[in-house]
Structure 1
């Protein structure tokens, strides 16, 4: 076993899960908790953006963010059942990380805007917040499905890896 995801990445991941679930569940029941969960998400996203530049090797965006052609090629390999195992995030997972961060950031931003004098009650801000939040939920389901598929195909528990930070070491055909 080798250490892949550091404590910052793992803590960010699970804290973001907690803040999103909290915000989702308190949307119509507790405005104060909903707002604080959103502020927590915004802070976490900001921290992750910084850590993606200065963090440990597998935390850096330069390690796992790939171009659209690479992502599409990887998705095609998934469909044919021939995708490579990556020690860090695979190209589809890396793309999902970016899309989730952007969607979470946009959800937090529009939520905050709704609390300001300038944008309180502005329909397009409320609509955008609702659409992005619902889209984020859909993305979360895709993310969970991708994690389940990769865990099954590569015979490793990625949820456990996001708790412990460890994955089995790269084999000859894996991408380190």
Structure 2
């Protein structure tokens, strides 16, 4: 959903007509930060033989988080649902074409470009996890290892692009989008707010991750 801001372009757009509303539910935020932490940990331990169990555990955790995010993308709150932000290539190209000129437009949830990055990261995470799981005990371990490492490097590049997009979007809108993924709020109208943060689901997700880690490292 897009909303008009001020007519004057620039990162200092006036937003007095908006208020802080809850946009990102707790499960979406927790899943986001858990995936980021797991990716960083898995990437840093990839070449460390003594950390192989940690590396594999974090990789499996990422795979589980992706599956959760896919399910939540169908049953979660409206801004977390794929139907609210996933469009076709035409929508992405139109967004990029107009982005230079339409400073007065904003997305309360994911932008079309952000949605494309999200889907690409989810797919790459599944590829990294599946190839990593298949590496052990296969005759094609070398080829799978190349695929595994290549997909991980591609994920790192997309993560960097994602951070650049967040920085640009924050500057463009005058709103700290990184903070929004921490506290769940953005500037918007009351009609755009979600009704519940679903903290219980987020707690269950954290408990499941911690339980899996305890099982792996016990």
Superposition TM-score, scaled by structure 2 size: 0.74
Query: Matches of 1:39 and 1:81 in 2, distance apart?
Result: 43
Query: Matches of 1:16 and 1:72 in 2, distance apart?
Result: 28
Query: Matches of 2:139 and 2:152 in 1, distance apart?
Result: 18
The answer as to 2:117 corresponding to 1:130 is: no
| Runs (5+) with no aligned partner, structure 2 | 1-19, 191-218
Partner of 1:107: 128
Among 80, 87, 90, the alignment partner of 2:108 is: 87
Q: How many residues align?
A: 169
Compare CA radii of gyration and give the structure with the larger one.
2
The answer as to 2:26 corresponding to 1:20 is: no
Query: Matches of 1:17 and 1:51 in 2, distance apart?
Result: 18
Q: Would the aligned equivalents of 1:113 and 1:120 in 2 still touch at CA under 8 Å?
A: no
Normalized per residue, which structure has more strand?
A: 2
Partner SS for 1:47:
helix
Query: Matches of 1:126 and 1:33 in 2, distance apart?
Result: 18
Partner SS for 1:2:
strand
The answer as to 2:54 corresponding to 1:33 is: yes
Partner SS for 1:28:
coil
Query: Matches of 1:98 and 1:19 in 2, distance apart?
Result: 18
Partner of 1:64: 85
Superposition TM-score, scaled by structure 1 size: 0.91
Query: Matches of 2:96 and 2:128 in 1, distance apart?
Result: 27
> What stretches of structure 1 move > 4 A for 4+ residues in a row?
none
